[in-house]
Amino acid sequence: MMLFNKKNKVNPKKANVLPPRELELAERAFRDWVFLLAGFALLVVSVVVVAGFLFVKVNRGDFFTAEPDATISTTSSNRKTLIDVNDFFLNRQKGYESFLTGTTTEIDPSL
């Protein structure tokens, strides 16, 4: 074990000087970190812009609008169909009211 060997001592004049290969790696690492931070900042800005755009559109009411259909379907505007639908719901309402007012026989749980 050579802890106190003279070869291991660092020369103060050469302490801040990196070999060329390590200097290249340090520059590449710095460039990679700058690229990552710039990409993250670009991503954050784009998300904020899209969120702001959607917020403004939804707030104005422009986002969920649909153009009204100019053509009228003959099957949906038939008077007889509307009367039949109305009669169906009136019959359902009468059946429900008769169910509420009618008495039901009690079921004996002991059987």
Write out residues in the chain with pLDDT < 50, as ranges.
none
The pLDDT assigned to 7 comes to 59
pTM attached to this predicted model = 0.40
The pLDDT assigned to 53 comes to 92
The pLDDT assigned to 23 comes to 66
The pLDDT assigned to 43 comes to 97
Residues comprising the chain, all counted: 111
Cα distance between residue 108 and residue 94, in whole Å: 29
The pLDDT assigned to 92 comes to 96
Q: What sign results for the dihedral spanned by CA atoms 25, 26, 27, 29?
A: positive
- Domain map (residue ranges) of the chain: 17-65+74-101
